[in-house]
Amino acid sequence: MDAIAIADTEVTLLETQRGKSPITKRPVNINGHKTSVSLEAPFWLELKSIAAERKVPLGHLISMIDANRQRGNLSSALRLFVLAKYRPAVDPGSPRPESLARV
């Protein structure tokens, strides 16, 4: 069983004024602890893409990001992780996608 189980349900929390980039609350379970992350669809889709690229379950990728974050909340850490893939100098303190151990 993965460290994180991703629930199928998603609840829209907030839409931008244009209605194009909603922040969606996505429930996750990290090592038996239920929590949620609030992410825009493009960040969620990119996380799924990175997990597929690495051939690891999405929950495992999120667990690795959570274990390696140094500050901030999990949603922010996920955004910075995705952003780091495209802008290596964004935040020197955030782990780079390639720096997390591959499984």
Position 41 scores a pLDDT of: 92
Position 10 scores a pLDDT of: 47
Architecture (CATH level 2) of domain 4-99: Orthogonal Bundle (1.10)
Name which residue leads in pLDDT, 84 or 18: 84
Position 20 scores a pLDDT of: 57
| Length of the chain as a residue count | 103
CA torsion sign, 32 to 7 to 27 to 60?
positive
Would you say 16 and 71 are in contact if contact means Cβ atoms under 8 Å apart? Answer: no
**pLDDT tens, residue by residue, 37-93:** 999 999 999 999 999 999 988 888 999 999 998 888 999 999 999 998 887 655 555
Q: pLDDT confidence of 8, banded at 50, 70, 90?
A: very low
